[in-house]
Structure 1
Amino acid sequence: MQAEHAFTEERARIVIIDDHSVNLTLLRYLLAREAACDPIVFDDPREGLAHCLEHTPDLVIVDYMMPEMSGIELIGHLRAHPPTSEVPVLMVTANNEREVRHAALDAGATDFLTKPIDNKELSSRTRNMLKLRRAARREADRAEWLSGEIRKATAAILAREHELVCRLSRAAEFRDPETGAHIQRMAHYSRLIARELGLSEDDQHMILAAAPMHDVGKIAIPDAILLKPGRLSEEEFAVMKQHARYGYELLLASDAPVLQAGAEIAHSHHEKFDGSGYPQGLAGEAIPLFGRIVAVADVFDALTSARPYKPAWSLADARTLLEDGCGSHFDPACVAAFLRAWDEVQVIRERFQDAPESARDRLALLLGGN
């Protein structure tokens, strides 16, 4: 047969299922005359169905009346299986079997072949069904391509958001006596707590990305207060506390979910569970969950890190402070979640070590100092 009469551009996978060997022989012979068709025949409907479910065909031709399983039942199984749910099915019936045809249509039959089989009808209907299948596959391929493009575009957006987060966190780091390792540790501690609380993978990734922005508002605090080595006066501490509001206002206007989460964390991680924190004096579950989580992670790492104005606490002493602060400073559920992952806490602490130079030294270098 001429190439222009071929059913598809590629060889079509056609499955014929009929318990009569004469019908199988005839259909296979007629279809094999088409250069682009590879008919596979089954006289057992169960074997034919198993083949279709394992090797998705381009077209199924099935007889209605068969032992063990009728053509209508077979169609129902095909439609219930996602890979074969849209495969065209031609059912072979007698011309007077109107009720059978109605039932087959309800089951999902695409079209019919009338007994006795007419070669021209078989050729035309098969070709039409394969054209439908080819068009459906092209649409599916296009949908998959579009989905891939959307994933790539989304990944690019997330990468830009992550870069922005890193730059914002880095800006605060240059003006803060805390180190970049502190930001890494407390972010990973926060993710551990989120995991132990049963938060989704998406929420765990979100808090890991957003937690580093918790103190970004410190970029608005004067150096004389932010870098003061000694204890702050009441007036100075009142100014320092404004960093929570500054960070919130800096990040809130963004449409990016990670920056919105960062705004929430910046505003709420200094709240205390008993309502004695700042800036809003929220208590209990009125404090956003991300803020309650970061409060535990941030305080623990601040205690166990050396600063110009204090030595590092021991892990045991810091753990005791968290336990003693349950219900007053900290959400007891967040502390319990943190302590459940204690072995991983120590791994994170070892993984992210402080650099030898201080943030004050890095700031001096950035400004051109000696």
Structure 2
Amino acid sequence: MNEEKKSKILIVDDDENVRKVISRLLKNYGYDFDLAKNGAEALEKIKVSLPDLIFLDLMMPRMDGYEVCKRLKKDLLTEHLPVIILTGSGDTESKIRCLEAGANDFLTKPIEHTELMVRTKNLLKVKEFADFLKDYSKLLESEVKERTAQLRKSYIDTIHRLTIVAEYKDQETANHIRRVGFYSALIAKHLGWDEEDVETISYASPMHDIGKISIPSEILFKTTELTAEEFALIKRHTIIGGKILHGSESKMLQMAERIALTHHEQWDGKGYPKKLRGKSIPTEGRIMKIVDQYDALRSKRPYKPPFEHEIVVKIITQGDKRTMPAHFDPTILKIFKDIHKQFKEIYEIYKD
């Protein structure tokens, strides 16, 4: 995308060599950049001109990266600026602290050039997405009715493409997006939702895992059992997703935020991130819980083969070692039992 070449990136590090290495690499790829040697200087430069992305050293004198990041996230003008933390420590505890401070991603020194550019491009796409959402409502108001359908299609297409970026996949994820949207709309319709809300959840639900953009791929695609620390990091994708989608006036994006935050909550209160119970979980989150479970079980994963429809229905309705009926809203579970054959039809039409 041509817009990437115009992106401005701020590099904040007290080590001159690190600043030179990153700036040289960004220059080779056509990006504009600015430099700051400490947190205070960075905040002053951001006041003058907002960057599109910030590389922020974690350990600096006077004001460390945690503090700079927290200040950025508290300011309405800068809360959505993507931040990549630069750290000499690769331990999970430091990474969790970075995410809690509001960072979107992190790189461990010495920095691997390919990884830096991949993460740069991904987060600039997320920034582009956020900017797009801010302008969308104003754009709709200024357009005549004949343009509305075309703009809406472009809007949905942008959402789907950026959801694919978050999943780090291509065609497989595109089919997953379609299935999730159809499953969610099907359940919502049987719950008695009106036509507008059914359409809204069909577009909002595919964004449930957009927070995975900040989870390291080596953890997402790990084929062996996750450690407790790695699983704690994985669980952060719900909160990160909520932050990415937060603040929009769009009804669709507001619903997507609720879904991102709550699709791993469980009816029995044993889910995450907030251990919500029963009807304290938004209905769309409860719908997404069973939808996500069904599609995950049907799909191939690094740690498991795909399961046939009949086996998945049995697991969801009767339980196994990991999934229990108590995890799901009883009303939604009953609907699933009644219409599960339609889930199978959707999967067969849009299977990978």
**TM-score, scaled to structure 2:** 0.55
Which residues in structure 2 correspond to 1:114-133 (within 5 Å)?
A: none
| Counterparts in 2 of 1:226 and 1:327: CA distance versus 1, 3 Å | closer
Which of the residues 242, 245, 267 maps onto 1:248?
A: 242
Residue of structure 2 in register with 1:346 after alignment:
344
- Point out 4+ residue stretches in structure 1 off by more than 6 angstroms: none
Shift of 1:172: 1.4
Tell me the C-alpha RMSD between the 2 structures. 2.2
User: Which of 181, 200, 217 pairs up with 2:194?
Assistant: 200
Partner of 1:97: none
Identity of aligned residues (%): 41
Q: Is 1:174 the equivalent of 2:172?
A: no
**Who is 2:257 aligned against?**
263
**Shift of the alpha carbon at 1:342?**
2.5
Question: CA–CA distance in 2 between the matches of 1:183 and 1:339?
Answer: 22
Q: Which residue of 2 aligns with 1:155?
A: 149
State the SS of the aligned residue for 1:328: helix
Unpaired runs of at least 5, structure 1: 1-146, 355-370
Aligned position for 2:179: 185
Partner residue, 2:214: 220
Corresponding position of 2:326: 328
Task: Report the equivalent of 1:233.
Answer: 227
Distance of 1:223 and 1:176 partners within structure 2? 15
For 1:308 and 1:271, the matched residues in 2 are separated by: 23
Q: Is the 8 A contact 1:274 1:284 kept in 2?
A: yes
Instruction: Judge conservation of contact 2:212–2:237 (CA < 8 Å) in 1.
Output: yes
Aligned residues: 207
Question: C-alpha offsets along residues 166-194 of structure 1, whole Å, 9 cap, x if unaligned?
Answer: 12211112269973322221221111111
Measured in 2, the distance between the counterparts of 1:177 and 1:229 equals 21
CA distance, structure 1, for counterparts of residue 202 and residue 215 of structure 2: 25
- 1:220 Cα offset (Å): 0.4
2: distance between equivalents of 1:301 and 1:218? 17
Distance 1:157 1:247, change over 3 A: same
Q: Secondary structure at the match of 2:326?
A: coil
Residue 227 of structure 1 and its aligned partner are, at CA, apart by: 2.0
Gapped runs of 5+ residues in structure 2? 1-140
Q: For the structure 1 residues 213 and 353, does the alpha-carbon distance in structure 2 shift closer, same or farther, using more than 3 Å as the test?
A: same
| 2:249 partner amino acid | D
Q: Contact 1:196–1:341 (CA<8 Å) still a contact in 2? A: no
Tell me which amino acid in the other structure corresponds to 2:330. Answer: P
Give the direction of change, closer, same or farther, for the CA distance of 1:286–1:319 in structure 2 (3 Å limit). same
| AA of the residue aligned to 1:246 | I
Per the alignment, in what secondary structure is the counterpart of residue 327 of structure 2? coil
Structure 1 or 2, whichever has the larger Rg, is 1
Q: For 2:229, give the aligned amino acid.
A: E
